[in-house]
Amino acid sequence: MNNLIIKDSKRIVLADAIPQSYLTDGLKLKYGQADILVYPKTTEEVADVVKFANANNLNITTRGAGTNLVGSTIPNGGIILDLSLMNEIVELDKETFTITVQPGILLQDLQQFVEQYDLFYPPDPGAKSSTIGGNISTNAGGMRAVKYGVTRDYVQALEVVMADGSVLNIGSKNVKDNTGLALKHLFIGSEGTLGIITQCTLKLIAKPKISQTFVVGFNTIEQAIASITTILHTLTPTALEFVERKVAQWGEKYSGFQFPLPHSQAYLIIMLDGSDQQSIEQQRKQLLANLGDCDYFVAEDSNQASQIWTIRGSLVRAVEAVTEQDPIDIVVPINRIADFIHFTKQLEAKTKVRMLAFGHAGDGNIHLCILRDDRDDKQWDTDLQQVHQALYQKCLELGGLPSAEHGIGTAKVSYYNDAIPKANRQLMHAIKQQFDPKNLLNNQVYMTMI
């Protein structure tokens, strides 16, 4: 069997020997099963695996670094296709501001590489150890999305192995392209259901010369969120995050760093970037003048800035060090953030289920950690379902959607069905059938649902 897939048998693992870590996602709470684990190194090997799967009617679950949070990498039998060995930089083209890479390269490695050349890859999701292929498959966003956009905005070309093993090349290095349908966008955010990305060309920009982080403190989270519109009318920050004092304390305890303005009850964390210090100072002064009477702290150096962002970035890990948590990445219109946060507080009081809310204030992306605490399995399942139902229903009432950047996977299928009209889902299903008529690619994921 091994030689029918790829010649190097060392990169094939059969069922009984597949490590448990490959049968789950980033949460490591649910597990699937698989018959074969394969580590391809080339597009040709990926195509051979897909052809083998077609001939034997085997499902294929594609994975990279395993950081997915919604069950998309939990296999449903068949083949696990691990692309982590396809991690090479194919070409850096400084003249066209593009870089071509294999899908298994880690986000942090790509960013560090291009910054050596004063170039910048802006998408910045929380999991810096995620792969670029995974980022594209979930259209990952992150803290810098408010100014620079999300992964979709930086994908210029893709090489994709289709469900029959053929290879499709779409997009180009050209800045503009209105030549036919924009097929590449069908694969971005599709969670591996339409094809397997084996190479990608990404847009780069000039690296900002300087950045500055500062924190604005408020008496209530409502006051903090009410200031978001003022900020966005004044300037476009690189990052704009909100966090309550009680949430920041989790990050303080975990990281060992002290968050500034400890007397405030809520914060906006703001990053500005620009060409020189003077431009940053002008932006900051203009913003603070428009915000009026408020407390603020300016990071004096990169070390202070790093501590602030470390606290913000460690919130999920801080929770997971204490109790199991269920992550939510709901998005609502930015003028409804306060309404949703207020609702979470009401729901927390009603259900006695603790929830920590924080997130990307500039784009309405609210992250929630729903804490299990000491609930047994039965009580946790019951309470979590009740909380989920209420949160997603409120999200839709406010004009929001069930996922901003994690994707749908298997965890949010019912809420996806509630959010998306049936006609839209039927069209998505028809596209899936056209691209993958045997339904072999990540067939556990939402695109198979109508």
In the three-class reduction of DSSP (H, G, I as helix; E, B as strand; rest coil), residue 201 is classed as: strand
Question: Could you tell me the pLDDT band of residue 3, with boundaries at 50, 70 and 90?
Answer: low
Instruction: State the Cα–Cα distance between residues 310 and 302, nearest whole angstrom.
Output: 12
Instruction: State the Cα–Cα distance between residues 30 and 183, nearest whole angstrom.
Output: 33
Is residue 33 within 8 Å of residue 75, measured between CB atoms? Answer: yes
User: According to the model, what pLDDT value does residue 355 have?
Assistant: 96
Does residue 428 surpass a pLDDT of 90?
yes
Is residue 77 within 8 Å of residue 83, measured between CB atoms? Answer: no
Strand partners, 296: 216
User: Each residue of 146-173: pLDDT tens digit?
Assistant: 999 999 999 999 999 999 999 999 999 9
Instruction: State the Cα–Cα distance between residues 380 and 390, nearest whole angstrom.
Output: 15
User: Each residue of 78-103: pLDDT tens digit?
Assistant: 999 999 999 999 999 999 999 999 99
Does residue 241 surpass a pLDDT of 60?
yes
User: According to the model, what pLDDT value does residue 4 have?
Assistant: 57
| Least trusted range by pLDDT, from 219-228, 286-295, 298-307 | 286-295
**pLDDT, mean of residues 114-139:** 95
Is residue 159 within 8 Å of residue 131, measured between CB atoms? Answer: no
Question: Could you tell me the pLDDT band of residue 448, with boundaries at 50, 70 and 90?
Answer: low
Instruction: State the Cα–Cα distance between residues 262 and 243, nearest whole angstrom.
Output: 12
Instruction: State the Cα–Cα distance between residues 157 and 136, nearest whole angstrom.
Output: 11
Question: Could you tell me the pLDDT band of residue 2, with boundaries at 50, 70 and 90?
Answer: very low
Does residue 397 surpass a pLDDT of 90?
yes
User: According to the model, what pLDDT value does residue 126 have?
Assistant: 84
Structure tokens at 165: 């093993």
Name 251's Cβ contacts closer than 8 Å, sequence gap at least 6. Answer: 257, 259, 310, 311, 312, 313, 314, 315, 318
**pLDDT, mean of residues 385-400:** 98
Q: Which domains does the chain have, with CATH numbers?
A: 2-84 (3.30.43.10), 89-206 (3.30.465.10), 210-316 (3.30.70.2190), 323-418 (3.30.70.2740)
Is residue 312 within 8 Å of residue 252, measured between CB atoms? Answer: no
User: According to the model, what pLDDT value does residue 8 have?
Assistant: 84
Residue identified by tokens 């962002």 is: 309
- The percentage of the chain sitting over the pLDDT mark of 90, rounded to a whole number, equals 91
- Residue 316 identity: V
Question: Could you tell me the pLDDT band of residue 427, with boundaries at 50, 70 and 90?
Answer: very high
> What are the phi and psi torsion angles at 186 (to 5°)?
-70, -30
Q: Are strands 79-82 and 36-38 parallel, antiparallel or unpaired?
A: parallel
User: According to the model, what pLDDT value does residue 248 have?
Assistant: 97
Q: E-strand spans in 22-78?
A: 36-38, 60-63
User: Each residue of 172-213: pLDDT tens digit?
Assistant: 999 999 999 999 999 999 999 999 999 999 999 999 999 999
Got the DSSP string for 96-117? TTEEEE-TTSBHHHHHHHHHTT
Structure tokens at 23: 């049968």
Instruction: State the Cα–Cα distance between residues 98 and 386, nearest whole angstrom.
Output: 46
Residues 66, 69, 72, 76, CA torsion sign: positive
Instruction: State the Cα–Cα distance between residues 147 and 239, nearest whole angstrom.
Output: 7
Question: Could you tell me the pLDDT band of residue 439, with boundaries at 50, 70 and 90?
Answer: very high
CA dihedral 223, 226, 230, 231 (to 10 degrees): 70
Angle between helices 245-255 and 302-313 (to 10 degrees): 110
CA-based diameter of the chain, in Å?
Answer: 71
- Residue 96 identity: T
Is residue 348 within 8 Å of residue 369, measured between CB atoms? Answer: no
Residue identified by tokens 């927390």 is: 348
Is residue 140 within 8 Å of residue 151, measured between CB atoms? Answer: yes
Structure tokens at 371: 């804490």
> What are the phi and psi torsion angles at 141 (to 5°)?
-115, -100
User: According to the model, what pLDDT value does residue 9 have?
Assistant: 84
Instruction: State the Cα–Cα distance between residues 394 and 330, nearest whole angstrom.
Output: 10
**pLDDT, mean of residues 325-337:** 95
Is residue 133 within 8 Å of residue 83, measured between CB atoms? Answer: yes
Question: Could you tell me the pLDDT band of residue 127, with boundaries at 50, 70 and 90?
Answer: confident
**pLDDT, mean of residues 347-358:** 97
